[in-house]
Amino acid sequence: MSDFYSAYPSQPEQRHGASSSGAGGNSTGGAPFYGQGGFGQQQQGNGSASASSSSYGAYGGAQQSWQQQPLAPEKPSNNGTMEGSYSNQPAQQPLFDPSMAAAAMTSVAAQGFTPDAMFGQGQKLVEGFLDKSTARFIPGLDLFMRTLRVYFAVDNRFVKGKAQRVLFPFVYKDWARLEDQATTPSDNNIAYCPPVQDINAFDLYIPLMTLITYVLLCALCYGTAGEFNPEVLPDVTTKCFLTQILEVLAIRGGFFAMHAPVKLLDLFSVTGYKYLGLSINMLVGLLFSHLGWGYRGYYGTFLWTASAVSYFMLKTMANNIPRVVAATGPKREFMVLGFAASQFVTMWFVSQTKFLD
């Protein structure tokens, strides 16, 4: 008896080279195995199906033959791994595109390095970084960047107005934040407007910039006294940042005791406005040091700025802590006063007045 597979040619023809003849649509004897058998039927010009690869008649029933299509042979790559059917995957995009940074610098230079131009180009870089899904290669970076971006959505009007509120809070009466009506609140949390739309919103731009300014002014103070060394910059920065972290944790503990919700970035923002007062103190101290009154000039200004920052914290916390808190926790009024007094203490602790006179 002849072999079952003898009905098929020993050398398969080209897949798309099969021809059909007759009105009934019967295929010719040279039809390829992969073109008409297996899992489907090949349609002819008049819509009728061609003969399948199943064998009928002589063998009394449908005996469907199966044959697995061979995969492409694997070949070793340069790093020693085997490249097979997955070699056509697209390459991962780089995390940083130098052309975007070069285009941004060119645009800023064409506009004269103005603050608005630098802010606009920086915002475009961040948005392009996120929109192209490059940040999604790092787990959690996408969400963190989108959350952090709200705290840097500022303009010149906001920076000027916020600095005035921090240094002269006694003349302002409105401290309530604006609710964002265009955003749907989630989990019963109120959505607030970003800093560019609300002067009472929290931001991290002013705390970060004033911290850098204060550290540089402290380095200048050490330099004018002939005591500068490269360790001054990290020492002052570390002292300020660790002090602020401990302060934020203490305030967060107070909120937890009152069962009041609060965001950590909001606390870093509101406790970071002290660096504006510290920068002004150090600048006045450096100016008066040429007259021999550096120490007196610093602490004379310190009395005003520390009182202003403490009052700013008092009004900010009073308008952001819920009126109704846990009955078993500490009193809301005492906690607000404690938060305000902490600004006076921490500003004194991180002051660098050793070389002013």
Residue-level pLDDT at 183: 67
Residue-level pLDDT at 188: 57
Residue-level pLDDT at 207: 96
Residue-level pLDDT at 261: 86
C-beta atoms surrounding 144 within 10 Å? 11
Residue 281 token pair: 């103190």
Task: Output DSSP code: residue 21.
Answer: E
Q: How far apart are CA 166 and CA 209, in angstroms?
A: 15
Q: Which tens digit of pLDDT belongs to each residue from 314-334?
A: 999 998 888 777 677 778 889
C-beta atoms surrounding 351 within 10 Å? 19
Sort residue 57 into left (φ over 0), alpha (ψ -120 to 50) or beta. left
Residue-level pLDDT at 339: 94
Residue-level pLDDT at 350: 95
Residue-level pLDDT at 90: 46
Q: Which tens digit of pLDDT belongs to each residue from 49-66?
A: 443 444 444 444 444 444
pTM: 0.64
Residue-level pLDDT at 292: 85
Residues of the chain with pLDDT under 50: 1-69, 71-72, 74-75, 77-91
Residue-level pLDDT at 101: 65
Residue-level pLDDT at 184: 58
Q: Which amino acid is at 329?
A: G
Cβ 100 vs Cβ 128: under 8 Å? yes
